[in-house]
Amino acid sequence: SDAKIVLGIESSCDETAVALVASDRTIIAQHIASQEKEHAPYGGVVPEIAARAHAERLAPMLEAVMDDAGMRLADVDAIAATAGPGLIGGVMVGLVSGKALAMAADKPLLAINHLEGHALSPRLADETLAFPYLLLLVSGGHCQILKVEGVGEYRRLATTIDDALGEAFDKTAKILGLGYPGGPAVEKLARGGNPKAVPLPRPLKGSKEPHFSFAGLKSAVMRAAQSGEHSSADIAASFQQAAVDCLIDRLEHALARTDAVPALVVAGGVAANQTVRSALEGLAAKHSMRFVAPPLALCTDNAAMIAWAGCERLPLGDSAPLDLKARPRWPL
Ligand code: KG4
Ligand code: ZN
């Protein structure tokens, strides 16, 4: 076949990941290693520990992925590496590995924005998803609404003025003593709680501004926990409901102000949350839009989405110079 094969590398936060993806949407092989255990004692990601763990794991992981695929570097058409945004030490480890491979094999290097990886990942899972689409990108570091008009054509309609939603989930987990990473633990605990039990704010709900805010919600969760008047399950469920209400309100705001698009898409780690998913599904139905959510493994950080972004970018011919710098901040 004339499908191109891209090797993807992801190391911007606390997952080390390598994947081989073909432009016909086949995930040929992938490995992913979470650093949960290394960071858990600190209740969050420690940048220095993350960078070191990426450096230790990446080379053997690259070898394992090529072995699984039964391929050699010569069989690959391009190398795609996350070049930001993220924790700079980790990004540098992945990017410098990508540069070395590209140089050794004389293949183009594609420098991928991690957010673009999330933004295009739904197209890896669903070949019928065409541009444009409205994307809610909700992860540990970001909470944005984007109109995705094409590869490299992203119009940001809203972002958070303080915390990202995943961050709010993680802080709520910490307050409730659930440990790190917090999102899945809060979701699990919330299943046994009453989402109406604890009165919590919906920051910026109804605001004329398009943006998100979660700092006030986090503080209210802290006060509710300290009051001793509520069960942890009720706090978790009420927090999750407040967060979902904010998402829906802000998406309604965006939908009212943009030309109709056929699909509502969600990506990023928080897209793994079932309450979030079903609320978005309801919103899409109300607006006669298709709802597309990638499988859970493609929602949280992974290298298949980076390799796929490489597949989407390869035909554009924009390979990166080998002196390209990693970018801790890099808005889409
Ligand atoms: O996309 P991701 O893996 O990494 C970033 O690029 O940030 O997102 C990680 C975030 C974490 O804050 C985690 O707590 C959250 O996604 N998360 C969830 C769930 N699974 C992961 N939040 C709520 N419910 C979940 N099931
Ligand atoms: Zn991410």
DSSP class per residue in 20-65: EEETTS-EEEEEEEE-HHHHGGGTS--HHHHHHHHHHHHHHHHHHH
**pLDDT over threshold 80, residue 45:** yes
pLDDT value for 189: 98
**Number of separate domains in the chain:** 2
Identify whether residues 159 and 34 lie together within a single domain.
no
Residue 304: CATH number of its domain:
3.30.420.40
97 is a domain residue: yes
- Say yes or no: 28 and 92 in one domain: yes
State yes or no: 141 annotated in a binding site.
yes
Looking at residue 77, its pLDDT comes to: 98
Residues with CB under 5 A from ligand 2 (ion): 139, 301
Q: Are residues 115 and 178 in the same domain?
A: no
Question: Within a domain: residue 329?
Answer: no
Does the CB atom of residue 170 touch ligand 1 within 6 A? yes
Residue 321 domain-assigned (yes or no)? no
On the question of pLDDT at 217 being above 90, the answer is yes
Q: How far from 172 is each of 38, 43, 161, 236, 332, CA to CA, in Å? A: 21, 12, 18, 7, 28
Average pLDDT over residues 54-58: 96
304 plus 285 within the same structural domain: no
Q: For residues 66 and 189, state if they share a domain.
A: no
State what percent of residues in the chain have pLDDT above 70: 100
Examine the domain organization and report whether 65 and 91 are in the same domain.
yes
Indicate whether 215 and 141 sit together in one domain. Answer: yes
Q: Are residues 146 and 243 in the same domain?
A: yes
In a shared domain, residues 164 and 235: yes
On whether both 100 and 169 belong to a single domain, the answer is: no
Q: Judge whether 85 lies within some domain.
A: yes
Statement: residue 108 has pLDDT above 80: yes
pLDDT (tens digit per residue) in 228-259: 999 999 999 999 999 999 999 999 999 999 99
In a domain, 331, yes or no: no
Does 181 have pLDDT greater than 90? no
CA distance 295 to 185: 19
pLDDT at residue 2 tops 90: no
Confidence of residue 7 (pLDDT cuts 50, 70, 90): very high
**How many A from CA of 141 to the centre of ligand 2?**
7
Same-domain status, 169 and 284: yes
Q: Is the pLDDT confidence value at 184 over 80?
A: yes
The ipTM value here is 0.98
The answer to whether residue 26 scores a pLDDT higher than 80 is yes
Residues 258 and 309 in one domain: no
In a domain, residue 23? The reply is yes
CA geometry: angle at 313 spanning 104 and 146, to 5°? 135
Q: Whose CA is nearest to atom 19 of ligand 1?
A: 183
For residue 231, the CA-to-ligand 1 centroid distance in Å is 24
Owning domain of residue 279:
130-293
Residue 200 lies in a domain: yes
Whether residue 124 lies inside any domain: the answer is no
Mean local confidence (pLDDT), 144-149 = 97
Is residue 9 classed as helix, strand or coil in its secondary structure?
strand
